Chains A and B, each alone.
Chain A
Amino acid sequence: MNAPLALPSDVPRVNATRFRQAHEEDWEQLDRIVSRMEKRSIRSLSDEDLLALPSLYRTTLSSLSVARDTSLDRALITYLERLCTRAYFQIYGVKTPAWRQLTGFFAHGWPSAVRALWRETLFCVALTFGAALLAYFLIRSDPTWFYSIIPQGLAEGRDPTASAAALRATLYDKEQDWLGVFATFLFTHNSQIAIFAFALGFAFAVPTVLLILYNGLTLGAFFAVFAAKGLAPNVTGWLMIHGTTEIFAICISGAAGIRIGLAIAFPGRAPRMDSAVGAGRTAATAMAGAVIMLAVAGLLEGIGRQTITSDGLRMLIGSTVLVAWLSYFYALPLRRANGE
C-alpha cells in the first residue's frame, strides 16, 4: 500500500466501487419494479418488467452473496439486504387476490375448519345444554337461584316474579322502532363475545369453557322462568328462530378457543410452537365464520323474530337454518384447496 499514487485516477480502488458500477443499474431496476408492486400490484407491471423480475431478483440476490464475501462497504450490503428482502416478500409472499381468498373461504376454508373442530364443537354444545339443564332444574326447584345466575340488568323484568301475561308480552310484542339498530347491536355485541371466546382459549381454554358454561346457564335460567308459567313451547319458538344459529356460532368460537388452549397445553408429537400455529390458523378461520353466522343470527333476531310471531313458523325457520348450517359444515363435499 505504499504506492497508491501510481494508480491512474479512473481505476476503482476498492471492490465495492467496481461492483456498484457493474450492477447498480440492475439493482435500481429491481427497486423500481418492487416499489411498484408494493404500491399497486403485480398487475400494474408491464410485460417486460414482469419477465425481467425473476432474473433481476436472482442477480441481486447473488450480488448480495458476492458483496458479503468481497466487499467491505456496509452501506452497500445493507442496501442489498433490504432490497432482496423486499423483493423476496413480493415474489414468494405474494397475495392471493381478495376475491379468490373470499371464494376459497366459503368453498372450503370455513367448512373444513369447522369440520376439523367437530370434537370441540360437540363438547361446547354438550356443555351449553348441560349447563342449561342444570340451571333449569335448579330454578324449577328453587326460583331464588335465578338471581344468582342472571344479573339484574339482563333480566329486564323477565324474572320468576313476573306474571304470565307480562312474560308472554316480551315474546310477542313488536318493537317496531329501532328494530334494525337493535339487530346490529346484538350482532356486534355477540361477535365481540365470539372473538373473546377465541382469544381467551390461549389461557389453556379455561376462560373459554367458563364463558360457554355461563352462556348455557343463562339459557336454562330464562327457559325455566317461562316454563314455570306454562310458556315452554312459546319461549322455544322465540329462542329457536335465531338461537340455533347464535348458539351454534358461540359454540364454534368456543371450540376454536378450546382448540388453541389444547394445542398449547398438549402439543402431542409436534413441537409446541408448530402445534399452536396449526391450531391458531384453523381456529381463526372458524372464528371469522362464527362472526358471519352471528350477523345472520342478528338479522333473524332483530328482524325475523319481530315480524314473525307464530311459534310454529319460528321453530320451522330455526330448524331449517340449523339444518342448512349442519349440511354446509359437515355434509358438503369439499374439493381440496389449491390456493390456500
Chain B
Amino acid sequence: MASSAVQPRGLKRTFITPEGVDLRLELGSAGSRAAAFIIDVLMIVAILVAATLALFYVARGTSTGGEQFIAIIWLIGAFVLRNAWFSLFEMGGRGATPGKRMLGLRVVARDGARLTGSAVIARNAMREIEVFLPVSFLADQSVEGLADTFLVVFALLWSGIFLFFPLFNRDHLRVGDLVAGTWVVQSEKSKLSADLVGTSYRARRTFPKAALELYGIYELQTLEDVLRKENPDAIVTVAAMIRAKAGLPDDGDDYGFLYDYYVALCAHLEANMMVGRRRESKFA
C-alpha cells in the first residue's frame, strides 16, 4: 500500500492529562511554522504600508500640530506592530497569530499549564535576535554601501544558526520556545468524518480466512485512508495488490471490492483484538 501518505510519526509527543489519558500531541512541522511566520510577516508589512499611506493621505491637509500627532501615531504603531503583533495574538484565547491559525497551529506551555504572558513575551522577544537583528543589520549596511562580504557572511551565519535551530533539536524548539518553555502544536478543528462501515452495510463478497490473515492494523488503517480519499489511481493499485496477494479473482469493481475487504478485515481484526490478539501490522 505504497500509494497513500503515511502519517509522520516523528512529531507525536506523549502528553498525559491529569485524567491520565495520553493526548499524543502533534508538534507543528518546521515547514508549516515557517509558512505561518511568513504569512504573519506579510500581514505586518501589508498593514504597515496601508497605514502609512492612509496617514500620509490624512496628513496632507493638516497643520504642523496635526502632522506631529500623525508622526507619533506612526512611530508607536510601527513599534507595536513589530514587537506586539505576535505576543498580543498569542496571549489571546486561541494562543495563535493569524498565520498560525491558518495553518492550524497553536502555542502551548510544554508542561501543560496555562500559557502565561511572560512566556509569550519571552518567546517573541527572542525573535529580535533570530530574525530582525540580522535583517535590519544587513539592511542598514547595504543602504550605506558598507555591506562587505565578511558582514554578509557573518549575518547569514548568525541568522542561519537561529533559523535552523528548530531542525537540530528533538522537539523542533525555536530559541524563543526554549527560553519560554513553550512549544507549537497542531490544533486543528476537524469534523467527524462519516462512518465508513455504517449500519446499512450489506456484504456482497465473502473472503476466505487466509485472505483476512494477510494484514494487520497498520495496513487496515492505510486502506481506510485510501477509501476515504477516493483517489481512483490508488484504489486500482491497492485493489490489484490485495487480489494478487490473496489470490482472488478480479470482478471489475475495485472500490466495492476494497470496501467489502475493509469491512471484513476490520471485523476480523477487531474480533481478534477483543480476545487479546492485537496485530499491529502484517509483520507482527
- Residues of chain A at the chain B interface (Cβ within 8 Å): 1-5, 9-17, 20-21, 24, 27-28, 35, 37-41, 58, 61-62, 64-65, 70-76, 78-79, 81-82, 84-86, 88-89, 92-96, 98, 101, 105, 109, 113, 177-181, 184-185, 187-188, 191-192, 195-196, 198-200, 202-203, 260, 273, 276-277, 279-285, 287-288, 340
Q: Contact between A82 and B94 (Cβ–Cβ < 8 Å)? A: no
Q: Does A14 contact B119, Cβ atoms closer than 8 Å?
A: no
A285 to B201, CA, bound (A): 60
Point out the residues of chain A lying under 8 angstroms from B200, CB to CB. 9-10
Complex Cα spacing A195 to B84, Å = 12
Q: Flag if B79 contacts A61 (CB, 8 Å).
A: no
Q: Residue A27 contacts which of B69, B125, B192 (CB distance < 8 angstroms)?
A: B192
Cross-interface CB contact of B118 among A79, A181, A184, A285, cutoff 8 Å: A285
Q: Among A5, A76, A81, A179, point to the contact of B24 (Cβ < 8 A).
A: A81
Minimum distance in angstroms from A303 CB to a CB of chain B: 12
Query: Across the interface, do A195 and B206 meet the contact criterion of CB distance under 8 Å?
Result: no
Tell whether, in the assembled complex, residue A195 and residue B125 are in contact, meaning their CB atoms are under 8 Å apart. Answer: yes
**Contact (Cβ within 8 A) A196 B114:** no
Q: Which of B18, B192, B197, B212 contacts A13 (CB 8 A)?
A: B197
- For A105, list chain B residues within 8 Å (CB): 117
Cβ contacts under 8 Å, B127 to chain A? 199
Contacts of B209 in A (CB 8 A): 1-2
CB distance from B180 to the nearest CB of A (A): 5
Q: Which residues of B contact A17 (CB under 8 A)?
A: 195, 197-199
Q: Known contacts being A9-B202, A72-B270, A84-B21, is A276 close to B178, with CB within 8 Å?
A: yes
Judging by beta carbons under 8 Å apart, are A74 and B224 in contact? Answer: yes
Pairwise interchain contact B212-A1, C-beta atoms closer than 8 A = yes
Q: Which residue of A lies closest to B121 (CB)?
A: A284
Taking a contact as CB atoms under 8 Å apart, the answer to whether B206 and A1 are in contact is yes
Taking A4-B206, A14-B263 as contacts, is the C-beta distance between A95 and B198 under 8 angstroms?
A: no
What per-residue 1/0 map shows which CB atoms of B5-49 lie under 8 Å from chain A?
A: 000000000000111010111000000000000000000000000
Q: Is B231 an interface residue (CB 8 A)?
A: no
Q: By the criterion CB–CB under 8 Å, are B228 and A75 in contact?
A: yes
Give the B interface residue count (CB, 8 A): 84
Q: Does B239 touch A at the CB level, under 8 Å?
A: no
Chain A contact surface mostly: helix
Contacts A/B (CB < 8 Å), 12 sampled: A10-B199, A28-B192, A35-B189, A40-B93, A41-B93, A81-B24, A82-B190, A89-B187, A184-B75, A188-B79, A192-B83, A273-B178
Q: Do B274 and A74 have beta carbons less than 8 Å apart?
A: no
Distance between A117 CB and nearest chain B CB, rounded to angstroms: 13
Are B119 and A284 interface neighbours, CB within 8 A? yes
Contact of B68 among A5, A178, A284 (CB under 8 A): A178
Residues on A with beta carbons closer than 8 Å to the beta carbon of B179? 202, 260, 276-277, 279-280
**What are the residues of chain A within 8 A of B68 when measuring CB–CB?**
177-181
Most chain-B CB neighbours within 10 Å: which of A2, A20, A72, A198?
A: A72
Contacts of A192 in B (CB 8 A): 79, 83, 128
Residues in A with CB closer than 8 Å to B199 are 9-12, 17, 21
Q: Is B126 positioned at the interface, with any CB of A under 8 Å from its CB?
A: yes
CB pair A13–B201 under 8 Å, yes or no, is yes
Contact B267 A89 (CB under 8 A): no
* CB atoms of A9 and B201 under 8 A apart: yes
- Residue on A with the closest CB to B181? A277
Q: Is the CB of B125 within 8 A of A287?
A: yes
Say yes or no for B106: interface residue by CB 8 A criterion.
yes
Q: Which residues of B are found within 8 Å of A284, using beta-carbon distances?
A: 118-119, 121-122, 125, 180
Partner of A72 from the list B24, B110, B217 (CB cut-off 8 Å) is B217
Contact A181 B21 (CB under 8 A): no
From B117, B181, B208, B266, give the contact of A280 (CB < 8 A). Answer: B181
